[in-house]
Each structure stands twice: as C-alpha cells, then as structure tokens.
Amino acid sequence: MSAIKDLPSQSTGPSPNLKYCPQPYENILSAVGNTPLVKLQHIASHLPCNVFVKCEYFNAGGSVKDRIGLRMVEDAEKSGRIKKGDTLIEPTSGNTGIGIALAAAVKGYKCIIVLPEKMSKEKVDVLKALGAEIIRTPTEAAWDAPDSHISIAKKLQMETPNSHILDQYTNPANPLAHYDGTANEILQQLDGKVDMIVAGAGTGGTISGLAAKIKETNPNCKVVGVDPVGSILAVPDSLNDPGRLSSYHVEGIGYDFIPGVLNRGLVDHWIKSKDSESLVMMRRLIRDEGLLCGGSSGSAVSAALQAAASLKAGQNCVIILPDSVRNYMTKALSDDWMIDHNFIDDDIIKKKRYENWWADKRVCDLELNTPLTVSSNVRCKDAIALLKKEGFDMVPVIDEEGDVIGVVTEGNMSTRIISGRASPDTSVKEAGVIYKTFRKLSMNAKLADLATCLDMEPYALIVTEQRCFANRKRKRSVSHDFANGIQAGDKSSEVQAKEQMEVVTKSVVCGIVTRIDLLEFISSDIVTKSEF
C-alpha cells in the first residue's frame, strides 16, 4: 500500500511520448498509416550508413496491405461503384484480404476472400474473425489455371449478385496508396533524405508507388526490389532461371506472372531471396532488434544488408517490413517448424541432437507394415469405410500417375463433411480433404530424423524412389519425310521412328510410421543391453 500512496512522489512527470499521442479516432480505419520508422541498432551495425525499417505491421490490420485495402474500398465508394450491402471478392495471399475485410467490417460490406492453401492458418483465422467467407485454392495452381485463386474469384464474381473484385493486381489505388501515403511519410520522417529504398515485390504496388514518389524529390535514390527464388518478377529475366516457378515458403511476395500495377522500370536493382536466409533473418530481427515482423520482412532486410553496403556514412536506407509475426505463429516462429524445413543457422535455430543408442539406426530397421493407398478419385464415403475396416485413421493418396500427393485423415474428413463443406459422395480430391503437408522419409533415413519429424506430425510416410521406363513411339513428320526424299503416300513414310525410352521417377509408399512405432522399437527386446 505504501508504494501506491507514494506514486506522486515517485513520478518523473508526463511521458515524453505524449507528444505523439493522437486524438480519438472515429473508427479503426483511421489507424491505417503513419507507421513508425525505426533505426536498426544491431543487425546493420557493420554498415557505415543509417538503416531504417518502416514497421508496417503497426497498421490496424497488421500489414502494409491495410493501406491498399482501405484505398481501393474508398475509391470504389467515391466513384459509386460499390454501395453498402454489396459483396467484395478478392484473390489474395492473405494480407490484402485482411485489409479489405477490415474495411468491409467497419463499412458494412460482405466479403469473400480467395487464397491459396499455402497461406498460414493465422491469416485464415483473422479473416474469419472479421466475418469474411474463405475459399482455398491449390498452391501449385498457375495464376491463369481454372482452379487458381484469381480464376476462382472471377467465377464467384459472375455467380454472386452485386459483387465486385477490386483487383489489387490492376487497381491504380494500390500504388497510389503508397505514392500518396507511405512515401510521403518516409520523406517527412527523414526530412526528405532517402538514398535507398528496399522492398519486396508481390503485386508490386508498394515498390512502384514508393519509387515513383521518392524519385521525384530524390532522383538518385536507389530502389531495390526483392523477389523470392521461384518467382519471375526480377529483371533481367535470367535472374529468375535458378529455381524458376519452384515453390517457396515466404508468403506475400513473388508471383508467376507480372501484375499490372508493377512498374519494373522504376526498380534499379533486383535481389533474389531464399527461404532459409529470409526466415532466419526474421527470427534475428525479433531476437536482436525486438521487431515482431514476418517472413517477407526477413527477405527485405537480408537483401538490404547486401545492397546498402554501397552507401556511405550519413546516407539513409529504408526497408519496408510488410507484416507481423502474428501471421506465422505456427510456422516460422516455431523452432520445430524451422528445423523440420531445415532452416537452421546453429545460432538462433539449432537442430535437435539425439545422443541415444537408437539415433543412428535407420528407418529400415523398423518393422513396417505393407502400406495401403487410395487413388484421388475414391469417394469420401468409401475412404471412410476403408479406414473403419482396416482400423486406420489415415491413408496415403496417389494420383493417376501413381505418385503420392498427400494423406486422407479421419479428422480432415470429419471436419469438412460434418460442417457441410464436403459431400460423402464426392471424391477425396474434389472434397478438398487431402492433407498435403505430410512428412516423407527414405528407408535409409536415421531414426533421429524420424523423431524430429514426429515432433511435428503424428506420422511420416516412408517412400522410395522408383525409376520407371516407358516406351514412347512417334511417327516421322511430313517435313522429315520430304527432307529425306520420301514422297507422300510412300509406304516408307508410314514407318515409325525408333522407339524412345522415357525415364520417369516416382515416389512409392513403402510404409507409414507413427510415434508408437518408434516407441515400440526403442523399448523392444531386439536391443541388447550392450547397445545402451
């Protein structure tokens, strides 16, 4: 009690931060923009220049995309395109969806968000909490494929009365939000002295809007674009050749097409980022700088540390940190997830070391049961009957070519069928009940690696690679025949060319291992005391 009574005498006066305290807002949308610019103290201490980060996760919805979500909605209102009660549909990697859903919740619009399966559960949960309807699409679908998030959004818009796709990929409100807002904030915060700006490119609206405005007052400012390996946004196009169109884990940046709002002519230099360096840097920013940012922030900072090495003392480099760690609590913030994906630096992320007698044993030392698989066109009701008959709670799924594409689990089917999102009479593929983030190990993998996998999932698929040779025949073309002096109608023109051998590598399931299988091996009588 004495401490409470003595509070006035212990006071040092009003907090100096009160000068930054804003007046009351009419609604939460007024909390979009005016994000802090923070100087890096440790990670960039080896550089002579000043390195600042623009913390966009301080926006109301948690990301830089709140700016364009609000701007696109407000511009559509001003033009009379949308009215209260209409439905807003948007294909997105998640953050733009949250920005639009936030505006829709406050302003009274319905909202449907279409996003690939790759995007985090946390984004989906936030969108649901904001009242948005969620449609998931295959991650591997090309942007113009019928089942891509963009194509599905267009289909929904045609089927839904009074609905609109504001379209972040082509909407000028996207770069304008940064031309009018973000860029001017940075110029004001640094008294107009910006020598380098570094930003990841997704739709490209952020980097295009920033570059256009900042180069007006700072024509010598270097604009550095960051594009993940697997994406094709970087210039020259040869930069995209290593790993072209391969999958990557960092969310929110990169695409397999060039969005209309991306002006690559404004970008002076491109740097390709890798998952490992990006996500480890994200964790360094959290630990060493206290910046609770997401994976694409790690991409931007990793690239900036390379690019800013060319700057001199007194010059300023600004890096955009697009979103917060809130979106990745079960992914890059998890040590187990990072280790499972081999994103290890032996400093922040250290691989588990098993010193037990069994750690160097191999998966082939386990007694594996003959596996049972189902094809992707099997109906859900038949898969359920099979699981019941065999006493399993999961079964691997193979495609038409015999390759493993995922696992059907009792839990996944229960969730979708009971909620009415899938019918028992549809195939497991059409019902969307195939769980694709399963773990695969070879027969020669160490049990220590298996134990690490089983820390994340209750089971692992044991696969072996099989090389399959297939005969493929092809007829000589007419141009080939004439080139060799053979006239049309000549019997020799009907002779088939020599058979060519085509080699295909397939993954074949040879077993399923669960935690109990590993525990049984460890505690079995197979091991003699001398092996302990």
- The amino acid present at 391, given as its one-letter code, is G
pLDDT of residue 43: 98
Q: Quick one: residue 224, left, alpha or beta (phi over 0 = left, psi -120 to 50 = alpha)?
A: beta
Pairing of the two strands 222-228 and 196-200: parallel
Q: Which of 5, 19, 54, 65 is catalytic?
A: 65
Q: Residue 347 half-sphere exposure, CB side, CA atoms within 13 Å?
A: 8
Q: By the 8 A CB rule, do 143 and 259 touch?
A: no
Is-contact 130 105, C-beta < 8 A?
yes
Which residues make Cβ contacts (< 8 Å) with residue 434, sequence separation at least 6? Answer: 376, 397, 405, 406, 407, 408, 412, 428
Q: Which tokens sit at 106?
A: 């406050």
pLDDT for position 253: 97
Q: Alpha helices, DSSP H only, in 79-178?
A: 95-107, 121-129, 149-159, 173-177
Whole-angstrom distance, CA of residue 287 vs CA of residue 305: 17
Does the annotation mark 65 as catalytic?
yes
294 close to 327: Cβ distance less than 8 angstroms: yes
CA distance 431 to 107: 34
pLDDT at 125: 95
Handedness of CA 234, 236, 242, 243 (dihedral sign): positive
* Structure token digits, residue 527: 């091991």
Q: Dihedral angle at the C-alpha atoms of 493, 498, 499, 503, nearest 10 degrees?
A: -130
pLDDT, position 1? 52
Contacts of 462 (CB under 8 A, 6+ apart): 363, 368, 440, 441, 442, 443, 509, 510, 511, 512, 513
In the chain, how many H helices and how many E strands? Answer: 17, 17
DSSP label of 229: B
Cβ-based burial of 19 (10 A; exposed 0-12, middle 13-18, buried ≥19) = exposed
| Residues near 187 by beta carbon (within 8 Å), at least 6 away in sequence | 194, 213, 214, 217
CA distance 504 to 403: 11
3-state class (DSSP) for residue 170 = coil
Dist. CA 414–CA 422, nearest whole Å: 10
List Cβ neighbours of 455 (8 Å cut-off, separation of 6 or more): 336, 340, 352
Burial of 10 (0-12, 13-18, 19+ CB in 10 A): exposed
Question: 345 and 501 in contact (C-beta within 8 Å)?
Answer: no
Cα 294 to Cα 313: distance, rounded to the nearest angstrom: 29
Output the pLDDT for position 207.
Answer: 98
User: Which DSSP state fits 450?
Assistant: H
β pairing state of 434-435 and 404-409? antiparallel
What 3-state DSSP class applies to 335? helix
Element (H, E) at 208: helix 205-217
User: Each residue of 132-170: b (16+ CB within 10 Å) or e?
Assistant: bebbbbbeebeeeeeebbbbbbbebbeeeeebbbbbbbe
One digit per residue, pLDDT tens: the chain, 532 residues?
555 778 888 888 999 989 888 899 999 999 999 999 999 999 999 999 999 999 999 999 999 999 999 999 999 999 999 999 999 999 998 899 999 999 999 999 999 999 988 888 899 999 999 999 999 888 878 888 898 999 999 999 999 999 999 999 999 999 999 999 999 999 999 999 999 999 999 999 999 999 999 999 999 999 999 999 999 999 999 999 999 999 999 999 999 999 999 999 999 999 999 999 999 999 999 999 999 999 999 999 999 999 999 999 999 999 999 999 999 999 999 998 898 888 999 999 988 888 888 999 999 998 887 778 899 999 999 999 998 888 888 888 988 877 888 888 888 888 889 988 889 999 998 888 888 777 888 899 999 989 988 887 888 888 887 776 665 544 434 333 433 443 444 444 444 444 455 666 677 788 888 888 899 898 875 554 445 4
Per-residue pLDDT, 483 = 38
Question: Do 266 and 212 meet the contact criterion of CB atoms below 8 Å apart?
Answer: yes
Q: CA angle, corner 161, sides to 158 and 166, nearest 5?
A: 65
Closest by Cα among 351, 354, 323, 353 to 335 = 351
